[in-house]
Amino acid sequence: MNQQIREAIRDKQRIVIKIGSSSLQHPETGDLDYIKMEVLVRELCNLRNQGKDVVLVTSGAIACGKKAVQIKDGDNPIAVKQACAAIGQARLMMTYQKIFAEYNQVTAQILMTRNTIVDNLNRFNAANTFTELLKLGVIPIVNENDTVATYEIEIGDNDTLSAIVAALIHADLLILLSDIDGLYTDNPRTNPNAQFIPVVQEIDEHILCMGKHETGSSVGTGGMDTKLTAAKIATASGADMIIANSEDVRIIHRIMDGREYGTLFTAHKDDDFYLTDFVEQMHND
């Protein structure tokens, strides 16, 4: 049964892939890991060459900006983070553009805020922009617009943002690349008896209780709880979602080959699911 579910991944046509800050940097220095970025780009271009629609949701702007102006990690004020985002987003996008150009792949930058989703006109325009870019064979590169966000950081985390993008563009697969292999019954870093969960077919309270408000990195912001929130959004909108380890980003083509990597959350489209209601609820809680 699980193998059939995995093999069905091969037929997915519209894929959103999210990669986090810690996955893009050398842990020793905080500088961008160009080799990992190059392999990531090659994987995405190869999916595009198969005729699939591909969207990349990338973190890293704030961390990249901090490194550029030598600001240490810590409890930085919002204005400092926004300034670092302005610096880092340009540097991050420039790096992506250069590597994608080596594979003759056109990319586009899309920066989003909460208002992009909750405002009907903005949401309509964003969806149309994605649609036209994908028709043109472009790979959109998405990040939250941290330079103008006043909720820190407004949508909450790029795990959530990637799920919102998947819902907005009617994707059929979302892959979250993280610093963990997938969902466990407990934190595997602190509990050696934690059991790995390969497939989740229903996100119930038992599954939600496995989310922890922690992350393995001082660079990233999303723990397992944000990934489970993303899974709720993605599966309700009709997309499968996979949490997988980004240590080797070649895991993307292995997942797309139907091999058993990461935790797969199967789609359960909910016709009563409204993206705007979900986003508003997140900020009211």
Interval 66-90: pLDDT, tens: 989 988 877 778 888 889 889 999 9
pTM surpassing 0.75?
yes
Q: Is the dihedral of CA 253, 177, 190, 229 positive or negative?
A: negative
pLDDT in tens, 112-130: 988 888 888 999 999 999 9
In the chain, the domains with their CATH numbers are 2-284 (3.40.1160.10)
Q: Is the dihedral of CA 219, 227, 55, 105 positive or negative?
A: positive
For residues 234 and 231, give the distance between their C-alpha atoms in angstroms, rounded to a whole number: 5
Q: How far is CA 192 from CA 184, 196, 285, in A?
A: 11, 11, 33
pLDDT in tens, 11-40: 999 999 999 888 898 988 888 999 999 999
Q: Taking each helix axis as running N to C, give the angle between helix 34-49 and helix 78-102, from 0 to 180 degrees, rounded to the nearest 10.
A: 60
State the number of CA atoms in the 13 A half-sphere of 138 facing the CB: 17
**Residue corresponding to tokens 């617009």:** 145
Q: How far is CA 40 from CA 10, 19, 28, 225, in A?
A: 18, 9, 20, 25
**Per-residue pLDDT at 185 exceeds 70:** yes
Query: Of all residues in the chain, what percent carry a pLDDT higher than 90?
Result: 55
Beta bridge partners of 32: 25
**Per-residue pLDDT at 280 exceeds 70:** no
State the number of CA atoms in the 13 A half-sphere of 269 facing the CB: 9
